[in-house]
Amino acid sequence: MKAIWLFGVLLLSFQIQAKDIAYPNINTKNMNGFAKKFNTTGGENGQRVVVTDLPSLIREAGDTQSKIIIINGEISSPTKVRVTLGRNKTIVGAFGGKNILNNIHLITSDQSANIILENLVFKHSPDIKGNDDIQVYIRSGKQYWIDHCSFVGHEWSDNDGSLDKLIYVGALADGITISNSLFSNHRYGAIFGYPSDEYDEHYNGYPRMTISNNVYRNIEVRSPGLMRYGYYHVYNNLIQQYHLGYTLAQSAKVLSENNIFEMGNEKGLVDDKKNNTSFTDIGSYPMSIQRFSKPQSWKVSYDYHLMPVDVAKTWDEKYAGAQVNNNNFKYPK
């Protein structure tokens, strides 16, 4: 009887702890772009689980049950650890700086789908720098929303031998939005679409992806990204201290609207490999990006709110990335 009573006390304590943690109230009504078009819900209406250590994260993230997984603290490893995501999950970081994944790499499998990553800080050691070392790696499934996350990077140099990237979305993944996030301090930024220099029609049209209201700062190349095969709607992003911005290859179709490129190599705004690619820009700064622009070859299939470039810059600088409290956790209106 005493053991049962103690178990009940411990369970009650856990429930109170979960209830009292401050973290963003995830409302899919604030979702935009292709993630919304694909009806992404994550762990909506599922069990709320507090996670403070790596074994618990591995256990809770890998199944198919609807769950809201609250990261409450720093989950860290001295070496790279891959955590496979299942389905129907919202993984959200607590406020107060208790939302850090250090050397923890989130990857998908063929069973993965319907995932929301919210208010997380991704850190990694500079010596984890291989070509396949990528902290968020999405290669299959539909319905992904990455929002208000920070990929903070580290010091880098041109000759440091690093090949790692901050994020990958490709192969047959589809219906993705990356919004209101920060990508910084890295040699390579983002890679999208199946990663091969040889054309493979099996991957043509994937992913369909929205990239909006993010900040890219001090990334040498691939910010906002290297894009292959898919359809990419990129708007209201702020890109600073870059050498190469867009890179297009293997039939990538890009619609760029009202983005801001600053303090970088203006000649490197767009690196178009011209192998059946399509790049259209409307209203971005500087106006010299227009020399790379072609007539629009496709239209987005959803409604969206487009800010003027000056408004977008101010908004992105203030609100993009993971937040320490609810006061700064905002969505574009």
Query: Catalytic one among 139, 187, 222, 228?
Result: 222
H and E: helices and strands count for the chain: 4, 22
- Residue 86, φ and ψ in degrees, nearest 5: -90, -120
Judge whether 222 counts as a catalytic residue. Answer: yes
Tokens encoding 208? 């369909």
Q: Which residues pair with 150 in a beta bridge?
A: 121, 182
Taking Cα atoms as reference points, which of 262, 199, 257 lies closest to residue 232?
Answer: 257
Alpha carbon 219 to its chain's center: 15
Instruction: Output the DSSP codes for 74-100.
Output: EEEEEEEEEEEEEEEEEEEE-STT-EE
Nearest to 285 by CA among 324, 307, 252, 257: 257
Spatial separation of the C-alpha atoms in residues 15 and 34, rounded to whole Å = 35
* Contact call for residues 125 and 156 (beta carbons, < 8 A): no
* Rg, C-alpha atoms of the chain: 20
Assess contact for 91 and 121: CB atoms under 8 A. Answer: no
Structure tokens at 78: 């001295």
Three-class DSSP category at 267: helix
- 309, 285 Cβ separation under 8 angstroms: yes
Return the structure tokens found at 258.
């009202």
Residues pairing with 271 in the sheet: 247
* Residue whose structure tokens are 């299959």: 140
Pairing of strands 253-257, 174-179: unpaired
Positions annotated as catalytic residues are 222
